[in-house]
Amino acid sequence: MLPRSLAGAQCRITDVAGSALGVSVSEATTEILVEDKGHVRWLTLNRPEAMNSITGQMLAELNDVLKAADDDPGVRVIVLTGAGRAFCAGLDLKQAARGEGIGGAGLASAGARHLSTREICTVTLQRIDTPVIAAVNGAAAGYGLDLALGCDMRLMSDKAILMPGFAKMGVVPESGGTWYLPRLLGWAKACEVALLGDTLNSEQSVEYGLANKSVPADELEAVATEWAEKIASNAPLAIAEIKRLFRHGLTQDFESHSHHVLMSVLNLFRSNDFAEGVRSFAEKRPPEFSGS
C-alpha cells in the first residue's frame, strides 16, 4: 500500500484550499490525501473500499491539489498513487448501474452541456510545470489509465495492471488516452491497445513504452521516493522549463521551438541556480539549488 500506513502518526496534510493541517492521515476525510516529504508532495487517491474509482468530489479535489502543488515553490515533484490495492479503477460502475454519480442516468441525459475542460484534472495535469510521477500500485482502468498516462513518468508495481478496455464499455478513452496513446506508442500500437482492449501487466507496459519501470510491489514506494528526490535535487527552474518546452515542442516546428529554447536558456543564465550549478561544478561539490 502506498504511501506506507501512517495511521495515528502526525504528518502534514494539505486540504484542497492549500492550508496545512496538523492531523493524522486516519482523521482525514477527503478523497485525496496530501502529504509532503521534503520537496516531494504525495497525492493519494483515497477510496480504497471502491478501488479508488472516481467521483465528482475526488476529481474536484484532485484538480485543486494539483494546482496548489504547482503554485507552491516548496514542491518540486509530485507523486500520484492510490490507497489500498488499486491505483484507480476508473468509473464507479456500481454507481453508474444505479443511475448515480459520473456515468449515471442524470449525467447521461444532461449531455455535455455542463462539462468544461478548464477545470478537468487531466487537463490541469498536462498543463502544470511540476513533474509528476505515477506510482501505479494496482489496477489502472479507464479514467485511472488516462490519469496515469497524464503523468510524466510511470513506475509500476509488478502486481499492477493497465486496463484499456474502453471499447468494451461502449466509451472512448475520454480523459487523455486518445491524445497520449498515439504519441507514446505510434498509431498501430495505439490502435492495438485501444481497439483490442486487452489488459497489460507491468512487464508488457514497460515493453510497450507505457511505463518506465516495473518494480516489486514492496519496493514501489522506495523507488518512487528515490526518483522523486533525485529530480527534486536538480535545479527547479530548469526542471520546470524542460517540461514546459517538451509540452510546447509537441505543437511547434523545429525552428520556432529552437527560438523558444534560446529565450529560455537566456533567462536561465540569469538565475541564481545557474550560478550555483557552475560554482558547485568548479568546487566539486553537490549543488544547493534555491529555485531562484
The answer to whether the CB of 244 falls within 8 A of the CB of 256 is no
Which regions in the chain score pLDDT beneath 50? 1-29, 106-114
- What are the start-end ranges of the H helices in 40-87? 56-71
Specify the DSSP element, H or E, that contains 162.
strand 161-163
Beta pairing, strands 86-88 & 40-45:
unpaired
Confidence at residue 117, expressed as pLDDT on a 0 to 100 scale = 61
Q: What is the pTM of this model?
A: 0.84
Confidence at residue 135, expressed as pLDDT on a 0 to 100 scale = 98
Confidence at residue 93, expressed as pLDDT on a 0 to 100 scale = 62
Confidence at residue 176, expressed as pLDDT on a 0 to 100 scale = 87
Confidence at residue 57, expressed as pLDDT on a 0 to 100 scale = 86
